[in-house]
Each structure stands twice: as C-alpha cells, then as structure tokens.
Structure 1
Amino acid sequence: MPTVRPRHRALTGLAIAGALIATASASAVQGPLHTSGGQIVDQANHEVVLQGVNWFGLETANHAPHGLWTRDYRDMLAQIKAQGFNVIRLPFSLQALKSTTTSGIDYSNGHNAALQGKTPQQVMDEIIAEAGRQGLGVILDNHSGADDGYMSPLWYGTGGFTEDDWVNQWSALAARYAGNPTVLGADLKNEPHGEATWGTGQANDWRRAAERAGNAVLAKAPNWLVLVEGIEGPVAGGQYLDRNWWGGNLEGVRQNPVRLSVANRVVYSPHEYGPGVFAQPWFSSPDMATILADRWTKGFGYIRDAGTAPILVGEFGAKNVGTDTVEGRWIRQFADYMGRTGTSWTFWAWNPNSGDTGGVLQDDWQTVNPAKMALLSALIRREAIAYAPGSGTTPAPTPT
C-alpha cells in the first residue's frame, strides 16, 4: 500500500446539552443517542445528524486546545456554536492526560481564568463543561499516545504507552464523564495505519483492539457512542479499493464488523482529504468525480446503505474550497455527498494552524474564513432544535 503523507497538525509549538441537528419535526431531541441501522438517533428514534469541527491542541506539547494564547476559551466555544455547529471533536494525547502542566494559555485581563493552575485533564473538564453550557456536544478523540505523535501507526508503542495504558485511559475517561450529558462518545484512535490490520486476530489487529477498548468504555459509560476508524492497508477477506487514507479503509466491516457488549453503539468514522494533503491518482483523472463517488460508496457508504451502522466523517478539510481548483471541486463534491446522504461530520479544523488544510478561523484566530464557512453553512441542516438536559457541569475528579 502507498504511504500517504500525514497532515501537519500545527505550524506552531450531547445525551446532549445543547442544540443538535434532527431531521424529525419533534419538539426536542431526547438523549442519550444511539444507533438504528445506518442512522444516529435519539431516544424517540428521531434521526440526529452531528455536524461540527475539530479543535485540536490537547494532543500537542501545549496540553491545551490551541488559540488560547490569544482568546478566552468561552469566547471560542461561543463562536463555534454561533456558526451553527452542534459538536466538537476534541483530540488529546495519553501523555497530556498524564501530565500536570499546560502552556500556550493567556491569563491576562481575566482571560481563561478558570483554566489557570489546572492540569490538562482539568482543562478538558472545563472545556467540556463550557461546551455543554454553550449547547455543544463533545466527542473525545485519542489522537496519539505521545504528544504530537499523530504519525504513530498504532494505538500502542509511542511514548512507552502500551495497549493496556490506552484501554485503561479510555476506561478512566468513560468513568469520569459517564454522567455528563455533553460527552457523546469516544473516537478510540485517530488514523490507524501502516502495520495496523483488520480481522487478523494479531496484536496489531485494529478491529480486535477497538472491541477491547470499546467494551471498556461501555462498561463505564454504556450510553456513549463508540467511533471506530479504519486502517490504511488491505483487510482480511479482500476489498474493492487499492489505496486509502490513513484510517480510511473500512472495507473490513463487510466480513468482520466491530462487535461490542452494548448493541447500537458503533459508529464508523472514516477520514477523507483532497490533493492538498496527498496527490492521490484520482485527483489527476478526467473521471475524478465518478471515481470519488465510487470510492465513497465502496469504501464506507455501503456500511450505512446496508443498515449496518452510521457513518461520521471525523476529518475532512481543505485550504481552497473554490471551484477553480481540484481541491475545491473535491470538497464541494464531498460536501454534497454528505448532505445528500445525511452523513454526520466534524470538519478539520476550527484551528487556522493546520499546515495542509488551514481552518474555519483565519490566522488572527478571530475571523471566520468566509468561503469555508459558506460551504459548511450550506451543508449544515437547519432543523436545529434546543435540548438542554443539564448544565454540563464538570464531574468530580476521578482519582488517578
């Protein structure tokens, strides 16, 4: 399989407590969420479409979401909500949650006062609490073991972290936030790739590991959604496609779906990118539009179409979204695909400092990129309805 260049994450060193998108005309979303066939639904079985952004930084050496060196976190979350998003995907590293220190946070003029003196885990607590108050759900994303370790192919092995460490951290997070309606679920591991396999039963079998970690999560937080990404290489039993993004190969689900102890909790989560991330051969083909549509159906759309499980695209993004570039034509076609199929998604990224894609925000960390936001606003369903089951207050710390 080809090696796909990763995105340079940074150029510098739910039940829902808010508005969700629902296709039904019901007066309120009734959490917690679960799955029904190819849909995410609430307790009344009304379809809910999650549409949001990635806000990264907790997985870096800063041990805190980026941009807090220039803005207050409450203002940042309020702006995310004001754009119409209903969820944030919050990346973190195992190393950050074992650390006691943060950096890159401005405390002048009263900014981020609630974060001062807090550990990275406590910063996560505060971000989740404020997201709930703002009406945003949160999906926790284990982006890496070591800080800035997103290039690591597996869920173990970087920074000295083992599979047991990874599972135990997920169990601790599930116990910590099980009673918090803002936290919707767990994206178990960002972009398994390289030597990761699917359905082999070996130590590097991602499907096996996802079942182990997913069941550990559900033992403490049985109402959470469990997001499972794919791998990069070929899967046991054969497949249709011969090239994939990191974490993008979900063809193994056909013969070897993820099995969890609680039914109706699995959501499969591919990532999809354009030529700004890697010049895949289909981007130079005159039949690009046809090839892309075929890839999306065979690569992951079949899972939803067969009623096996829903799809949430955990990452997609581009610097240029105009119709005059291949990158822009790709992302417009993909946005149209997600809109037509009712697919949930979280855009990469809210941050402007993602090297290959930029973000919704421009480099001043204040101004929204108008072209990107116009694209996403057209995609966001507007049947948003308020649902506030609780304040999103921070749970009591779990002993470590």
Structure 2
Amino acid sequence: MHLRLYLKGIFLFSCTLSTYSRTCASYGLLVLLCDKRHHLEDGVKQLWYDGVGNSEERILRGWDAVMNRLASKWNLFAVDLADELGAATWGMGLSSDWNIAAEQLIKHLATNHSSFAGLFFVQGVGASGTTDSSFPKSNQGGHLQGVQTHSISTGQPSIDGRVVYSPHAFGPDYTEESYFQTDDFPRNMPLIWQKQFGFIPNKTGHPVIVGAWGGRYEPSSLDEQYQNELARYLIENCMTSNFYWSVNGQWAFDPIEPNRRLSESERQNQNAQLGLLKRLQPRPTRLSYSQNTRFVGI
C-alpha cells in the first residue's frame, strides 16, 4: 500500500494516517509513505521544497509529525523521500542536487525516529539532472545516472544499507520520448533502462524497486508493448518487486471520479494488467503480525 503524503495540513492528517496504517495492518498490508505533494492543488513537484511556505525545515517538521505517530508501526516498511523531482539534479555540485538533500533527510529520520527500522526509498530526478547530453531522457523520478559517481552515502553503513533506489518508469501513455517512436521499439528499451537504473545493483550493491509504472494497457497499443517489455526486463534482472499505477481505471491525468464503474473495455484491460503483474510477481509475500510475540509471520 503506497500512501501519498500531502504536507499541507499534515499535522491534522497524521491521526488519520495512523488509523489507516492500523487498518492496513489488520489485512497484512505493508505501508510505504511518500511525500507526493506539498499542497493539494499542486501539480508535480519540481524540488523537494518550494518557495511558497514549505522550506526544507518545514518539510522535516512535516515528516517528524507523521513519523512520531507511525515510525513504530510494524507494517511501515519504507518511506519514499520525495516524488518526481522534475527540476532536481544529482551530483552536479548545485543547490538543486537531490542526492545531498536525500542523504540529509535520511540521517534526520534515522536519528530522530530510531524506532523506524524500515527502508529509505530514493527516487531519481528529471531529464535535465545530468551533465551527459547523450544520456537518454527519462520520466520525472526515473533519472539515476548520477549514482554512477555519487551514490547515496550518509557515512553510516548501518543506515546506508537501508537505501533502495526507486526509479519511475512510465511509458507512452504517460510521456512522449523519441525512443518510443523508433523502428526497434520496444526492443531498444532494455539498454535504455540499463543506463537509467539497471546498473545500480551491480555497481552499488543496493536494490532497485520500480516505484511507479503502468498505463491503460490497451490492446495493441505502444504502451502495452512497453509494459510487456519492462516486465520481461525486470524478471530477467531480478527486480520484480514494484509499485504499479494502476488497475482501477483511473490514470495520471484523468479527473478523479469516486465510485465510477469500469467500462467493459476497462474491465478487460484490468484483467490483462493483473495477468501481467502475476507473471512479474507470481508469489507476492503475505505478512501477519502477532501482538503477543511481536513477531512478523510470512
């Protein structure tokens, strides 16, 4: 379960998040908290802070408010530090370098919320976050080339061992890229993914979990081809843990329609999506927690 964290009013919402986490726990569902937006009316964030009241200090206080309630929950397995930072850079010696901010945020959370024993998910940056102009563009959150020379390091191995790199890897339903239009698409994609994030496990020893991918998955579409190829790539490279957006008929730019019924074509697409995810991860882990022994069962 991927809970999206909105920092506007977070001091009031932290109680609700705590209740939500308990409900998830009763079903054996793990929770990942993500700093998705600073304001409900925002579009995609450009940096991990903004110039309209959410300084880096306020962002830390927002995380503190949430972690004070949730850090000790057994099913809070990870925090995703910031979502899709389109204007951030990585390892370029600039004030916009997300890798430096991520290291500082990880140290803050590990130091001030020691009861949290989970993982720290670190997304990539936008397409401009590199000095290499030949590097293939990527979705916001998908650009991790900078890890080649500037991997996340807090100076504390016990904390660094909890870092997970989490690129976003959406296809043609989400964005337009030149490599979606080539004659060899989608066969060209594995080399591109390898450059964007696939090198990380061998280079750093850290895992990669794709934090967002998906689309409408309409039959015979470019996006269907893309998703099939990405699933094959993840299986072949032992990266089958993932977060998929989404199987409920809603898509990134669709208006939210609560209680909307799926159309017949959407139901067919949904079944196909679930089949794809079953091939990718046929045996997902189901967990339970004993209040008496405080042990997590698998």
The 5-angstrom pairing of residues 177-326 of structure 1 reads 177-194=70-87, 196-219=88-111, 220-221=113-114, 222-235=116-129, 238=132, 241-260=135-154, 261=156, 262-322=159-219, 324-326=220-222
Pairwise CA distance, 1:339: 2.4
Pairwise CA distance, 1:215: 1.1
Distance 1:266 1:243, change over 3 A: same
Say if 2:169 and 2:213, in contact at 8 Å, map to a contact too. Answer: yes
Distance 1:292 1:363, change over 3 A: farther
After superposition, give the CA deviation of every residue in 1:275-320 in whole Å (9 maximum; x if it has no partner): 1111211111111133211011111010013343111111101112
The 5-angstrom pairing of residues 4-15 of structure 1 reads none
What amino acid sits opposite 2:186 in the alignment?
Answer: A
Computed over aligned residues only, the root mean square deviation of the Cα atoms, in angstroms, reads: 2.8
Distance 1:339 1:363, change over 3 A: farther
Could you tell me which residue of structure 2 aligns to residue 171 of structure 1? 64
Distance 1:314 1:150, change over 3 A: farther
Could you tell me which residue of structure 1 aligns to residue 17 of structure 2? 124
Cα distance between partner residues in 2 of 1:183 and 1:290: 37
**TM-score using structure 2 length:** 0.85
Q: Share of identical aligned residues, percent?
A: 23
Say if 2:92 and 2:131, in contact at 8 Å, map to a contact too. Answer: no
Question: Which of the residues 127, 135, 138 maps onto 2:31?
Answer: 138
Cα distance between partner residues in 2 of 1:381 and 1:357: 29
Question: Which of the residues 380, 390, 396 maps onto 2:281?
Answer: 380
**TM-score using structure 1 length:** 0.64
Distance 1:240 1:133, change over 3 A: farther
After superposition, give the CA deviation of every residue in 1:192-240 in whole Å (9 maximum; x if it has no partner): 112x111234332111111111111111145120011111144456476
Say if 1:282 and 1:288, in contact at 8 Å, map to a contact too. Answer: yes
Could you tell me which residue of structure 1 aligns to residue 2 of structure 2? 89
User: In proportion to residue count, which structure has more helix?
Assistant: 2
Q: Which has the higher contact order (CA 8 A, sep 6+)?
A: 1
The 5-angstrom pairing of residues 387-398 of structure 1 reads 387-390=288-291
Q: Secondary structure at the match of 2:179?
A: helix
Task: Report whether the alignment pairs 1:336 with 2:237.
Answer: no
Say if 2:89 and 2:128, in contact at 8 Å, map to a contact too. Answer: yes
Structure 2: which 5+ residue stretches go unaligned?
Answer: none
What amino acid sits opposite 2:231 in the alignment?
Answer: A
Cα distance between partner residues in 2 of 1:128 and 1:208: 30
Cα distance between partner residues in 2 of 1:386 and 1:379: 19
Question: Which of the residues 327, 341, 360 maps onto 2:223?
Answer: 327
Structure 1: which 5+ residue stretches go unaligned?
Answer: 1-87, 101-119, 394-400
Distance 1:327 1:379, change over 3 A: same
Greater CA drift, 378-387 or 303-312: 378-387
